[in-house]
C-alpha cells in the first residue's frame, strides 16, 4: 500500500515556504465560518422566526445532504483532475448560496438554501484534506501543521464570534459566515494547482476491490469518531445542569480544541514513529479512558484533564485516517478516497447521534459507557487493519512531507 511521493514540478511554481503559509491560511479561513455557524446559526434561525421544530429540521438538512454530496464531489474532483480549481469553484458556490441564505426568511426557503450550501461546502472538507495530503506526499508541506490553523481559527471564531454577534445582533450571523467564506475563496486563489499525477498503471486503472486493510481502518476511525456523539449532543446541557457557568463550559470546550491543535502540530512526528494504524489505536484507547471516566460523572477538577484527551480521540484518529488514505489510494483517486472515508465517518456519526437521545433519556451520564465501548471497538478494528496491512511500514509520513 505504500506509494512513492508524487513528483514535484509544482513546487517550482510555488516556493515551499509560500505554499506552507497559503495552505495554513486556507485551513484557517475555511474553518472560520464553521466556528461561527456551529454555535450561532441556531440564533440566526430563531431571529428569522423559526420555531424549535423548524430549527431542528434546518440543522438536519445539511447533515443529510452531505451524505450523498461528499462522495459524488470526490469522484467529480478526480475526474476533472484539477483539485485546486475544484476547491475554488466550490468556494465561489458556497459564497453565493450563503449570500442567498442571508436574504431568506421563509422556513422552506431556508431549508432549500441550507441544502444548496451543503452541496458545495461540506464536500470541500475532504477535498481540502486530499489537496493538502497530496502536497505533503510530494514533500512540499506538513498536513498536520497546516490543519492546526483550521482548529485554531475555529476556536477563535467560537470566542470572538460571541463578542461580535452580541454587539451586532443575531441577524448578522450569516453575514459573518459569508465574510469568512469570502476570505477562504480569496486564499484558495493563491494555492498552486497540483500537477496531474503520473498515468496510472493498467492494474490501477481497473477498479479492483479496495484493500481490506484500508476499509477496516476507515471503519475503526468511524467507530472512534462516533464515540463523540453523546459528548457533542449532551455534554454542555449536562454540565449546565451540574451548575457550571457558561464561561466554565466554554473553557472546557476550548481545552479540547487546544489539545487538538497540539496534536496536529506534533502529530506528523508521532506518525513517523508509530504509523497511522497505531495512531488510530491510540485514539481508541484514549476514548476508553475519557468516556469510561465520564460515565461516573466526574468533578470539574477531572473534566479538564479528560478534555485534553480530545487531542487523541479526535485529532489522532483524524490525522491517522488522512494519512492512511493518502498511503493506500493512488493519487488519481485521492479526492474520492478522502471523500468516501469522510462519508463513512459521517454515516457512523449520524447513527450515533440519533441513538444518543434515547440513550441519554434512559441512563443519563452512564450512556458514556457506550462511547467507551465504541472507542475499544475502534482500537480493536484498527489492530486488525494493521495486521491486514502487514504492519505500519516504516516510511516518511505522507501527511508530513
Helices (H) and strands (E) in the chain, counts: 16, 0
| Count of beta carbons in the 10 Å neighbourhood of residue 216 | 20
pTM of the model: 0.80
What cell numbers appear for 144 in the block?
498536520
For the chain, which residues make up each domain, given as ranges?
12-193, 209-392
- Give the CATH class of 12-193: mainly alpha
How many Å apart are CA 309 and CA 370, to the nearest integer?
17
End-to-end Cα, the chain, rounded Å:
17
Give me the tens of pLDDT residue by residue for the chain, a chain 401 residues long. 344 444 444 444 555 568 889 999 999 999 999 988 887 888 899 889 888 788 878 888 888 888 888 888 888 887 888 999 999 999 999 999 999 999 999 999 999 999 999 999 999 998 998 898 888 888 888 888 999 999 999 989 888 888 888 888 888 999 999 999 999 999 999 999 987 665 555 555 445 556 788 999 999 999 999 999 989 888 888 888 888 887 788 888 889 999 999 999 998 888 889 899 999 999 999 999 999 999 999 999 999 999 999 999 999 999 999 999 988 887 778 877 888 888 999 899 888 888 888 898 899 899 999 999 999 999 999 999 999 887 665 444 445 44
What cell numbers appear for 21 in the block?
503559509
- Give the CATH class of 209-392: mainly alpha
Give the containing element (helix H, strand E) for 353. helix 334-363
Cα–Cα distances (Å) from 307 to 257, 260, 365, in that order, read 9, 10, 16
How many Å apart are CA 16 and CA 36, to the nearest integer?
31
Q: Are 27 and 132 in contact (CB under 8 A)?
A: yes
Q: Are 45 and 54 in contact (CB under 8 A)?
A: yes
Longest dimension (CA), the chain: 63
What cell numbers appear for 297 in the block?
460523572
The CA dihedral of 98, 100, 105, 111, to the nearest 10 degrees, is -60
Which ranges of 138-245 would DSSP assign to H, the alpha helix?
A: 143-168, 173-188, 202-205, 212-226, 229-241
How many Å apart are CA 143 and CA 158, to the nearest integer?
23
Q: How many CA atoms lie within 13 A of 197 on its CB side?
A: 25
How far is C-alpha 150 from the geometric centre of its chain's CA atoms? 10
Amino acid at each position: 500500500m505504500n506509494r512513492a511521493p508524487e513528483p514535484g514540478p509544482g513546487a517550482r511554481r510555488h516556493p515551499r515556504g509560500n505554499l506552507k503559509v497559503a495552505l495554513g491560511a486556507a485551513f484557517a479561513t475555511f474553518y472560520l465560518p464553521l466556528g461561527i455557524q456551529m454555535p450561532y446559526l441556531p440564533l440566526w434561525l430563531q431571529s428569522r422566526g423559526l420555531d424549535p421544530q423548524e430549527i431542528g429540521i434546518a440543522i438536519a438538512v445539511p447533515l443529510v445532504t452531505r451524505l450523498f454530496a461528499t462522495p459524488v464531489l470526490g469522484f467529480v474532483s478526480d475526474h476533472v483532475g484539477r483539485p485546486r480549481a475544484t476547491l475554488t469553484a466550490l468556494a465561489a458556490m458556497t459564497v453565493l448560496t450563503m449570500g442567498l441564505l442571508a436574504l431568506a426568511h421563509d422556513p422552506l426557503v431556508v431549508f432549500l438554501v441550507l441544502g444548496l450550501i451543503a452541496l458545495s461546502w461540506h464536500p470541500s472538507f475532504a477535498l481540502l484534506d486530499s489537496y493538502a495530503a497530496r502536497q505533503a506526499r510530494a514533500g512540499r508541506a506538513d498536513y498536520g501543521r497546516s490543519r492546526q490553523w483550521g482548529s485554531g481559527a475555529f476556536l477563535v471564531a467560537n470566542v470572538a464570534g460571541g463578542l461580535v454577534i452580541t454587539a451586532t445582533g443575531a441577524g448578522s450571523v450569516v453575514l459573518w459566515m459569508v465574510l469568512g467564506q469570502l476570505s477562504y475563496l480569496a486564499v484558495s486563489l493563491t494555492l498552486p494547482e497540483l500537477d496531474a499525477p503520473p498515468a496510472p498503471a493498467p492494474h490501477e486503472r481497473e477498479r479492483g476491490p479496495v484493500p481490506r486493510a484500508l476499509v477496516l481502518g476507515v471503519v475503526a476511525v468511524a467507530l472512534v469518531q462516533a464515540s463523540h456523539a453523546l459528548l457533542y449532543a449532551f455534554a454542555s446541557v449536562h454540565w449546565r445542569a451540574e451548575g457550571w457557568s457558561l464561561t466554565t463550559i466554554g473553557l472546557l470546550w476550548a481545552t479540547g480544541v487546544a489539545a487538538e491543535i497540539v496534536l496536529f502540530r506534533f502529530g506528523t512526528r508521532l506518525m513517523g514513529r508509530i504509523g497511522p494504524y497505531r495512531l488510530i489505536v491510540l485514539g481508541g484507547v484514549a476514548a476508553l479512558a475519557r468516556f469510561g471516566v465520564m460515565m461516573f460523572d466526574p468533578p470539574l477538577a477531572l473534566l479538564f484533564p479528560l478534555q485534553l484527551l480530545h487531542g487523541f480521540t479526535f485529532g489522532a484518529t483524524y490525522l491517522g485516517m488522512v494519512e492512511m488514505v493518502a498511503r493506500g489510494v493512488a493519487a488519481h483517486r485521492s479526492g474520492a478516497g478522502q471523500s468516501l472515508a469522510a462519508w463513512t465517518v459521517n454515516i457512523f456519526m449520524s447513527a450515533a447521534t440519533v441513538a444518543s437521545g434515547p440513550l441519554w433519556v434512559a441512563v443519563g451520564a452512564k450512556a458514556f459507557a457506550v462511547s467507551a465501548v465504541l472507542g475499544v471497538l475502534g482500537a480493536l478494528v484498527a489492530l486488525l487493519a494493521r495486521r491486514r496491512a502487514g504492519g505500519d511500514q516504516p516510511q516518511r509520513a505522507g501527511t508530513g512531507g
